[in-house]
Chains A and B, each alone.
Chain A
Amino acid sequence: MDTILWTVVLSSAAYSALLLLYVLAMLGLAFWETRVRRHQADVEDFDAVRASRYTIPVSIIAPTFNEQVMAVPSARSLLGLAYPQLEVIIVDDGSTDGTLAALIEAFDLEPRQSFFRRILPSNPIRMVYRSRTDPRLTVVAKENGGKADALNCGVNFARYRYLCCVDGDTVFIPDALLRAMAPVVKDPGRIVGAASLFGISLEPELIAERQGAVQRTNRHLLADFQHLDLLRSFIAFRSAWTRLKCMLCVSGAFGIWRRDVILEMGGFSSEFTCEDIEMTFRIHHKYLREGKPYRILSLPNMVAQTEGPRSIRSLVSQRARWQRVTLETIWHYRSMLGRPRYRTAGLVGMPYYVLFECLAPVVQVLSVLTLTVAAITGLMDWPAYLAFFGTMAFATAIPTTFAISMHDVAFRDYRPSDLARMLVLGPLDLLLYRPILLYAGLRGCWEFLRKDKRWNKFERNVRRPAPAIAPP
């Protein structure tokens, strides 16, 4: 029994050490990538790109479902993007609340028959709306079919060479598209996809209105942990994977795709719970197999704020879904794992996903249980037990500190007080936030085994009432 316990304990320690080494290696690469991107952004003539008639036009596709609160602010931010030529296609995927009515009122929409190319299959369209005030805006009301179906519908309406697929609950800074497209327009022949960092906020529309280029934490523990989690993921992993040419997840909240590539892939798939990571894997799989030159980037600029769940229950639902889709995708593309034919995608990216995403919930639960049993049985005394978790808390906080540091050195867009808050949250992450993700990960694994495909959309956060205006 002691031997078994020790074996498990040492294995857990080895797993943690391996993860830490991987993270530190990725941070090193991310440092290099972020530094290069920062320099490039520093010397980029954005005014010329903004004013140029040669800047590649972009079709922005925003699927929405029951986004009565966020649809209008999100659409306003898209129409307010500082980019020379774009169109915005909002696809209302059969909302049952007042989403469509809110959009109609806000943008003076009128219904119009609009013939389009049915290149990708999607559920029937009920009506197409055009804005009387802004000809760039089209709203397509269709029967519910899920996000992938809505995206494919939007692709059918899109007229430009590049697509920007976004979430209907995300609010963008004015320079979002300009900064994301700047590297793309320099190399449109090779760059087929690009993502960029976004933040988590409980009320993104207020954040975007208030702060402009300054980022802030939410002063809400759960939201701030999510914000930190995303920052760490983008900075530590996705930037490094970009440098290694194995960027494996263009997030659905903000993803730029070359339209001909999406059509070549046959559009987004409804067979997976989420469409974003699967499309990224599919492109790597196909292009590496065929030996075609291509690049998919993740840029470190924070371009938007998206709504994050306020409650633990909602967060668990969301993260279980993410775990589920990760497992679905990894299982579907398991042939890439460890094969030199798929280069760094198969040799670096896939192993990470298998070891540290798919297996993580099971390994972590086993570790915690084993250590607890070891403490209970006296194999390990309680001070040692607590010291172990304390060590892990700080050890996992160190890469977070590096990630925050790299972002701050590159962009200097957080206030020092918010930096301090994020730093303090680092060691608390393991003790307060990770258990939630652990549970969500286990639930996601269970849902994957049960072939559950539900979206489990979380309820929109209740908005604070506007402050009362004192009478004159």
Chain B
Amino acid sequence: MLASGELRLYLVWSFAAAGTLWALLSGLLLLNRLWHDHRRRRLEEITSRIESSGVAVLSLKAPTPEIRRILRTLSRRAIYRMIERPSTSDAVAAACAAFAVERWGPEQMIRDASEHDRRTKWRRLAALLALAHLRDPNAYRLLAVALEGHDRDLAGAAVLGLVRLGDHRAATILIDALRKRLYSPSRIATHLERFPVPVAHLLRPLLSDPEPQTRYWAASILGSGATDPSLLSDIVVLTGDRDASVRKVAVEALALLTDPRIPEVVLALLVDPAPFVRSAAIRALALAARALPEEAQAGVVRAIAARLADDFWEVRNAAKEALVGLGPPVWTAVAQQLDSTDAFARNGAAEVLQNIGLLDQLIATVAHGNAPDPTLTQVLGRAFEEGGPMMIDAAVARTGQERLPQVVSLLASIGLRPAT
């Protein structure tokens, strides 16, 4: 056992050592932060000067003397960090890329962009983006290699680099990556939808690809910005695809097109075996119905209203939302569902009638002292029966206190009363 004096000595030394170490670390942290703030202000100043020097972004091949003077005070790491950030403006990123190539040589840049170990991964990422900014001929090959690698961060950067290049060759690489599922398809699709050059002609062959996922993404991207009428027939063919996801996206694409033949095609999908296809068909029909003549519109509404009895909640929900979106004119078709043998159809119809304002309108009519229409009163009663006490209470609450006596009287006339 240690003597008391020895123990005290050890503990006092430990206290001093721990305190000193803490003070040193804390001091280093604060100094690092102050240095970082100083450097950030410098970088902001540099960025501002580059942007105000009128640099032409895309034609930049060599930095101007002014840019050399601005950037030569920065380390390679700092310059690479500026290149890799999407928040850096094109002008600044291009200026940094040009400077990096001039300073460290194109061979160094290509080496940095070609391979990496654990430590230099982020340097490779920045080098790839730099080559893309410079539109270097090696960029395409190196970005494609990065996209095919196992590292998702590099693959993501490669996608950004190809978007930066923004030409047909880059689009071809991206579409190939989409087909091979080299990276998140949704992310690639996001960029292809906004690609600087038209890519529809490159995507159309994928509509007949053997892989359903490829057909899916091609149809989705093409459908979003489709203006070519000849595309319609290709997408209509996909509504009969053997894969349900492809059928769904084809329906969604049709929803964005305007053609009088679409409702007829989509109507058939209301009975598709896949519930999510039926839901998509309902939404597409609701969009298309607005442009139809009255009689045709009524037929579409009846078809959608019938889906209130669907086995799947998401389909019933889509039908409810679609009908509400079409507004008060749907009420007669919906009211018929109040007599359905299916309980979901009955309460779904009640909810739709509530949400299109029919119930409130009827109540307001009575509250103003007008005689209620017997047919509408019957509909009101049936809707409340199927909607339950909460629907009655909600309607009463929406009416307001000043009309409460008339509302209670109306409800009593149809054998109902509010629960609260």
* A interface residues with partner B (beta carbon < 8 Å): 2, 6, 39-40, 42-49, 51-55, 110-115, 117, 125, 127-128, 159, 185-187, 378-381, 383-384, 387-388, 390-391, 394-395, 397-398, 401-402, 404-405, 408-409, 412, 416, 419-420, 423, 426-427
Contacts and interface: CB of A to CB of B under 8 A. Distances in A.
Contacts of A394: 15, 18-19, 21-22
30 contacts: A40-B153, A43-B84, A48-B187, A48-B194, A52-B187, A110-B394, A111-B397, A111-B398, A186-B156, A379-B4, A381-B4, A383-B12, A384-B4, A384-B7, A387-B8, A387-B11, A390-B15, A391-B11, A391-B15, A391-B18, A394-B15, A394-B18, A395-B18, A398-B25, A404-B29, A405-B29, A412-B36, A412-B40, A420-B30, A427-B19
Interface in B218-277: 224
A423 B29 contact: yes
B191 interface: yes
Contacts of B157: 43
Contact of B25 (A6, A53, A402): A402
B8 A416 contact: no
Interface in B330-350: 347-348, 350
Contacts of B187: 48, 52, 54, 185-186
Contacts of A383: 8, 12
Contact of A47 (B22, B84, B86, B224): B86
B85 interface: yes
Contact of B191 (A48, A187, A420, A426): A48
B120 interface: no
B25 A401 contact: yes
Nearest to B5: A381
Contacts of A125: 390
Nearest to B383: A113
Nearest to A125: B390
A393 B397 CA distance: 60
Contacts of A185: 184, 186-187
Contact of B351 (A115, A187, A390): A115
Interface of B: 1, 4, 7-8, 11-12, 14-15, 18-19, 21-22, 25-26, 29-30, 32-34, 36-37, 40, 81, 84-86, 122, 125, 152-153, 156-157, 160, 184, 186-187, 189-191, 194, 224, 313, 317, 347-348, 350-351, 354-355, 387-388, 390-391, 393-394, 397-398
The 7 closest A-B pairs by CB, nearest first: A394-B18, A113-B391, A387-B11, A54-B186, A111-B394, A52-B190, A384-B8
B283 to A, nearest CB: 13
A340 to B, nearest CB: 27
Given A398-B18, A401-B22, 15 more contacts: A46-B86, A52-B186, A112-B354, A113-B388, A113-B391, A114-B351, A115-B347, A185-B184, A186-B156, A380-B4, A381-B4, A381-B8, A387-B12, A394-B15, A427-B22
A314 B168 CA distance: 63
Given A113-B390, A113-B394, A387 B15 contact: yes
Contacts of A395: 18
Contacts of A39: 122, 125, 153
A445 to B, nearest CB: 30
Contact of B393 (A40, A127, A388): A127
Nearest to A397: B22
Given A380-B4, A426-B22, A113 B387 contact: yes
Nearest to B355: A112
Nearest to A385: B11
A423 B30 contact: yes
B401 to A, nearest CB: 14
A43 to B, nearest CB: 5
A58 to B, nearest CB: 15
Nearest to A43: B84
A44 B118 CA distance: 19
A111 B313 contact: no
A127 B398 CA distance: 12
A441 to B, nearest CB: 24
Nearest to A412: B36
Contacts of A412: 33, 36-37, 40
B116 to A, nearest CB: 13
Contacts of B32: 405, 408-409
A2 B3 CA distance: 12
A443 B194 CA distance: 59
Contact of B152 (A51, A115, A186, A405): A186
B14 A391 contact: yes
A127 B21 contact: no
A390 B125 CA distance: 46
A113 to B, nearest CB: 4
A115 B317 CA distance: 9
Given A53-B224, A110-B398, A117-B313, A388 B11 contact: yes
B190 A54 contact: yes
A38 to B, nearest CB: 10
Nearest to B188: A54
Contacts of A387: 8, 11-12, 14-15
Contacts of B390: 113, 125, 127-128
A53 B225 CA distance: 13
A381 B12 CA distance: 12
A43 B394 contact: no
A18 to B, nearest CB: 17
A219 B288 CA distance: 59
Contact of B26 (A111, A113, A114, A423): A423
Nearest to B121: A39
Specify which of B15, B32, B152 lies most central, judged by the most chain A CB atoms within 10 Å of its CB: B15
Nearest to B23: A394
